[in-house]
A and B are shown apart, each in its own frame.
Chain A
Amino acid sequence: MATDDACIDAYVRGLGRRLYRRPLTEDEVARWVAVSRDTAESDPLRGAESVLAGMLQSPAFLYRVEAGEPSPDGDGVRRYTSHEMGARLAFFLTEAGPDDALLDAADRGELLSPEALETQARRLLSSPRARAAVQSYFAQYLDLGRLEHIELDPVRFPGFSRALLRAMETEVRLLVDELVFRRGGDIRSLFSARRGYVNADLATLYGVDAPGATASAFVPVTFPEDTPRAGILTLGAFLTMNAHRIETSPTLRGKYIRERVLCQDVPPPPDNVNLDLEREEGDPPTLRERLEQHRENPACAGCHAFIDPPGFLFEHYDSMGRWRDAVDGYPVDSTGDLDGVPLDDALDLAKALSTHPRVGACMTRQVYRFAISRLDGRGDRAPLAAIEAAFAASGYDFQSLLVATVRSEGFRMLAAPEGQP
Chain B
Amino acid sequence: MMIPRRPLSRRTFLRGALGGLGVALALPPLEAMLGPRAAGAQVPAFPPFFGLFYFANGMPWHARHGGEQAAAGYPDLWTPGTTGAGFAPSPLLEPLARHRPTVVTGLEPHTEVPPAPPGQDDGHMRGFMVAMTGDRIRPEGFDHPSHTLTALSPSLDQYLARHPGFYDAPPRFRTLEVGISRARFHDYGHWNAISYNGPDSSNLPMMEPSALYDRLFAVPPDTREADRRRRVLDAVLGDANTLRTQLGATDRARLDAHLEHVRTLQRRIELASPHCEVPGRPGDDGDLLQKTRTMGELLALAVSCGLTRVFSVMLTSPATTHVFSNLGVPEDMHKICHDGRWEWVRDITRYQMECFAAFLDAFQAPQPDGTTLLDQGLVYGTSEYGEGWKHSVKELPVLMVGSAGGRLARGVHVREVDGNLCRAQLTALRALGLDDAQFGRNGAETADVLPGLLT
Residues of A whose CB lies within 8 Å of any CB of B are 25, 27-28, 31-32, 34-35, 38-39, 41, 50, 53-54, 57-60, 62-63, 65, 67, 145-146, 148-149, 151, 153, 244-246, 259, 265-269, 271-278, 375, 418
Contacts and interface: CB of A to CB of B under 8 A. Distances in A.
B239 A28 contact: yes
B162 interface: no
A268 B338 CA distance: 13
B231 A31 contact: no
B340 to A, nearest CB: 4
Given A57-B233, A59-B240, A276-B338, 5 more contacts: A58-B235, A59-B239, A151-B323, A245-B332, A271-B123
A63 B261 CA distance: 14
26 contacts: A28-B239, A31-B238, A35-B231, A38-B231, A53-B232, A57-B233, A58-B236, A59-B258, A60-B239, A62-B258, A65-B243, A67-B246, A67-B247, A148-B187, A149-B184, A151-B331, A153-B330, A245-B330, A259-B145, A265-B118, A265-B145, A269-B391, A271-B391, A271-B392, A276-B339, A375-B141
A63 B255 contact: yes
B365 interface: no
Contacts of A59: 236, 239-240, 243, 255, 258-259
Interface of B: 66-68, 118-119, 121-123, 140-141, 143-146, 183-184, 186-188, 224, 228, 231-233, 235-236, 238-240, 242-243, 246-247, 255, 258-259, 262, 321, 323, 330-332, 335, 338-340, 389-392
Name B's interface SS.
Answer: loop
Contact of A146 (B143, B186, B246, B338): B186
List the 10 closest A-B pairs by CB distance, nearest first: A276-B340, A54-B232, A268-B122, A58-B239, A245-B331, A145-B187, A259-B145, A35-B235, A39-B228, A59-B240
Contact of A265 (B144, B247, B258, B338): B144
A58 B239 CA distance: 7
Given A149-B321, A271-B123, A32 B146 contact: no
Contacts of B340: 275-276, 278
Contact of B236 (A57, A146, A148, A275): A57
B390 A272 contact: yes
Nearest to B258: A59
A38 B246 CA distance: 28
Contacts of A54: 232-233, 235-236
B265 to A, nearest CB: 8
A63 to B, nearest CB: 7
Contacts of B331: 151, 244-246
A31 B239 contact: yes
A244 B144 CA distance: 21
A35 B232 contact: yes
A375 B186 CA distance: 18
A63 B340 CA distance: 45
Most buried by B among A28, A59, A63: A59
A395 B61 CA distance: 54
B348 to A, nearest CB: 15
| Central interface residue in A31, A34, A268, by most chain B CB within 10 Å | A268
A269 B121 CA distance: 10
A63 B67 CA distance: 50
A278 B340 CA distance: 9
Contact of A145 (B186, B231, B236): B186
Contacts of A60: 239, 243
Contacts of A271: 121, 123, 390-392
A343 B335 CA distance: 29
Contacts of B140: 418
Nearest to A245: B331
Given A38-B231, A39-B231, A149-B183, A268 B144 contact: yes
B143 A39 contact: no
B140 to A, nearest CB: 8
B235 A32 contact: yes
Given A245-B335, A259-B146, A265-B118, A57 B232 contact: yes
A32 B143 CA distance: 42
Nearest to A67: B246
B146 A272 contact: no
Contacts of A273: 68, 390
A35 B237 CA distance: 12
A8 to B, nearest CB: 14
Nearest to A251: B338
